[in-house]
Structure 1
Amino acid sequence: MLIEFSAANFRSVRERQTLSLTKAKGDELLEKNTFQVKAANDFSLLRSAVLYGANASGKTNFFRALQIMKRVVVESASSQQRGDPLPVSSFLLSEKTKDKPSEFEAVFIVEGVRYQYGFSATTERIHEEWLLAYPRGRAQRWFGREWDGKREKYNWEFGGHLLGEKQVWQKSTRDNALFLSTAVQLNSHQLQPIYDWFKETLRMGDVGGWGLGYSATLCEKEDKDKILNFLKAADLGIEDVKVEANPFDPDSLPNDMPQGLKEQIAKEMKDKKILDIRTIHKTVEGKDVAFDIDEESDGTQRLFGFAGPWIDCLENGYVLFIDELHDSLHPKLVRFLVDLFNSGVSNPKNAQLVFTTHETSILSQDVFRRDQIWFCEKTADYSTELYPLTDFSPRKGRENLEISYLSGRYGAVPYVKSLINSFGIGAS
């Protein structure tokens, strides 16, 4: 479970910004939208959070910060080579920050233990890295490293609670790799659950979704009924899904494609299968009619692509971040997807969903608690600021959040200027 994530000096995020999934005061929607977890101390966490903001306010950059953190954890010790640049980018609109390291930190719970892990980095090296564990409520500093630019070496610190070949792992850690990742690669069983949380539990999606392949693959297995139940609950009129895996046919490539490119594609696709996905609908007379998935609407295709990963997250208690959930989806389908997380019935493993959207019809106290709603705004220096709705103390159960947001009460809305004078057109 995720408790909070923070980022600083990454792209448009200049000052440290933190998104928290800790339950605040208030007893609204307790059974649906919150859950308790024991980790030495009891924690009350949120099943979902939504982030609103104008275009170019930095919502995607904040999500990208977590995506980069995950990528560096998973890849720095295995895929990165010595000297390879790290995929970070500082806030470039200030001389004070452009050459400083970007910083990332996550607080989360794995197997009943709370961890606080983070690092800072430039493209050249990891500057700091730290891990604190709270197995009994009190902080245990398992390790820390900090780059000393004057001495051109790291200062290392290891706590007595971290077991294993610490000196071997330290010597094996490259400047552009994380100690956490290196130690796990060298068989640190104690750090493995933390690494696995980033690799397996934390899931990142975007406006493109996941494509159709994963859901289609599930339809070939015993999970097909789960996909069908998902689609039927969304009221798409789909009665069945047929999936066939066919060999790739080189003759299907366009005639005007260069022959060399054709041969290259044919070689790469030689042993691969092409999934033929067909949705089954009923005629008014009750007969089955098959449609190619490409004949379905963009929204239906996207929801089909969501079905498999959504079910996977709910069944395994994953933490899902997804950018622009509303894209190509009807407002009721957006609420349908959110409600699946905000329910102990459909979400018994306490999976968590964090998403951005411009869909304001779900900006309601019937859907979210006040502590589940966050805003993102561009400040005067063009940096990103993140803040919760609770900063404004909206009246419980009485304030219309959608109207208040669109009227500008909470900020995070675009300020649109008139173009009439810019085009030399007089007002009529």
Structure 2
Amino acid sequence: MTYKETVELSMIPSVNNIEGHLIDKDFFPVLKTAIIYGANASGKSSLIKSMDFARSYILDNSTLSPLLNYSYRLDKEKQNQESVFSFEIKTGREIYQYGFSVIFNKAMVQEEWLYELTKEICIFHRERTEDGISLKEHLKNMSAEELSRLRIYEEDQASSDHSLLITKLGSISYGKGMFWDSCKEVFTWFKRLTIFFPNTKFNLLSAVYGNEKEVNILYKEYFKIFGIDIDNIHLKEVPIEYLTVNPEFLSEINKSLLDKKNEGTKGMLNINGKEYLFEINDEDRLTAKEVKFRHRVNDYTAEFSKDEESDGTQRLFDLIPPYARVILSGGVLIVDEIDRNLHSLLTTMIFRNFLSSEGEQNRQLICTTHDVKMINLSLLRPDEIWFINRNRNEASSLYPLAKYRVEYPDNAEINYLNGMYQGIPDFNFNE
């Protein structure tokens, strides 16, 4: 990772004379969006990857291993020190701080904590000391049976160097009260956190097979918003003999699916960029179907395969489902390189739509980008625009545009390109 010291991405508004883009402004306001700029290799993707690691590790403790090292490796001493991951999250009227620290080269959890900040209550805090594992927790109103069960979980954790307590406590349906509810709420928040990378793919083939009508309703809504002219998405049978694949391999697929025909098993295969669904028909013959996209111009229609669509359209095929889910149901969507293969105006439209859409309002969109047109103070607040600057000793820092006094908002984009806010390539780096 590129972060030698602690960095913080804060969604708490820091500019008090601007009212828009706030969630729950009457209780504890937080910002709806954040967009992060920086030169190549400055640490933008590393920031997102660190969040993704924390999420994956919380949901599945097997993620941590001696082969994985997200520590700052440009300083020998830092590799033997703790790496800290901390989140402050809001669920309803509760605000929690959950975090943990690990020593990567030992695959060891050093510390883990969960606090309810509004009530100033420690739900639990465990720490590895010279004498073993130190643990304190909030036990108010916990029955003897619940306490006994909790002690069993704690003993399991004490015998494991790489396990997190939240993973066990948040995933079980046991116990009621503040302790158990807090663990479940925080664990559920991480389950709903969606992180989207440039290579993240949505299984459109499976979705169309499962519910073609619902898929078309979803995509048509956003195709209309984003100016895409696709009229229909459907599965079309393709003659097996047209497929450019080894006949022996097809024979193996046929045999495997025949053996599992009663289970309704189907196969999916990507061949030269085209995605096919294989299944056995009523005559026990192997059939293949491909996702097709119908374009209409007046009364004329033409069909295209997925790989024949533009790179930008293919990017939208993958991005629309998680984007629509957050719009409808709330949660946090984090996108690394949101502008990848997208026109600058389309990137802007995504943010405009996100900020103006109805539906669940407790939603956030956090992105990295190189699209400088988004440094637009008529679209975003200065505390929603962030920069990562990697200095000459190779360490990265993170800070908002709100750190600067912007006298002429229309010039913010030019000021950034001229280096006023840093976070741009340094072409004299080796001098």
Q: Secondary structure at the match of 1:229?
A: helix
Q: Is this contact kept in 2: 1:53–1:413, CA < 8 A? A: yes
**Is 1:404 aligned to 2:420, yes or no?**
no
Residues 311-330 of structure 1: CA deviation (Å, up to 9, x unaligned): 11111102011101111111
Aligned-CA RMSD value: 3.0
Match of 1:133 among 89, 107, 116: 116
Aligned letter for 1:208?
A: N
Change (3 A) 1:84 1:92: closer
CA–CA separation in structure 2 for the residues paired with 1:322 and 1:226:
20
Change (3 A) 1:223 1:14: same
Aligned letter for 2:153?
A: W
Q: Is this contact kept in 2: 1:50–1:355, CA < 8 A? A: yes
After superposition, where does 1:219-234 map in structure 2 within 5 Å? 220-234=212-226
CA–CA separation in structure 1 for the residues paired with 2:226 and 2:8:
34
CA–CA separation in structure 2 for the residues paired with 1:356 and 1:281:
32
Q: Is this contact kept in 2: 1:320–1:354, CA < 8 A? A: yes
After superposition, where does 1:85-104 map in structure 2 within 5 Å? 85=66, 87-104=68-85
Aligned letter for 1:302?
A: R
Match of 2:127 among 142, 146, 170: 146
Q: Is this contact kept in 2: 1:91–1:97, CA < 8 A? A: yes
Aligned letter for 1:179?
A: L
TM-score by length of 1: 0.82
Q: Is this contact kept in 2: 1:90–1:98, CA < 8 A? A: yes
After superposition, where does 1:50-199 map in structure 2 within 5 Å? 50-76=35-61, 79=62, 84-85=65-66, 87-123=68-104, 124-134=107-117, 137-148=118-129, 150-151=130-131, 153-161=132-140, 163=142, 164=146, 165-173=149-157, 174-188=160-174, 189-190=180-181, 191-199=183-191
Q: What displacement does 1:277 show? A: 2.2
Change (3 A) 1:217 1:271: closer
Unpaired runs of 5+ in structure 2?
Answer: 175-179, 269-276, 278-288
Q: Is this contact kept in 1: 2:15–2:382, CA < 8 A? A: no
**Is 1:271 aligned to 2:266, yes or no?**
yes
Match of 2:22 among 14, 34, 38: 34
Q: What displacement does 1:297 show? A: 0.7
CA–CA separation in structure 2 for the residues paired with 1:336 and 1:371:
20
Q: Is this contact kept in 2: 1:370–1:390, CA < 8 A? A: yes
Q: What displacement does 1:232 show? A: 1.6
Aligned letter for 2:166?
A: L
Unpaired runs of 5+ in structure 1?
Answer: 1-10, 423-428
Change (3 A) 1:116 1:359: same
Q: Is this contact kept in 2: 1:203–1:319, CA < 8 A? A: yes
More deviation, 226-235/182-191: 182-191
**Is 1:16 aligned to 2:6, yes or no?**
yes
Residues 304-358 of structure 1: CA deviation (Å, up to 9, x unaligned): 2222221111111020111011111111111111122212x34543310100000
Paired positions, count: 390
Higher helix share: 2
Which residue number corresponds to residue 8 of structure 1? none
Aligned letter for 1:75?
A: D
Q: Secondary structure at the match of 1:374?
A: strand
Q: What displacement does 1:251 show? A: 8.0
CA–CA separation in structure 2 for the residues paired with 1:120 and 1:193:
21
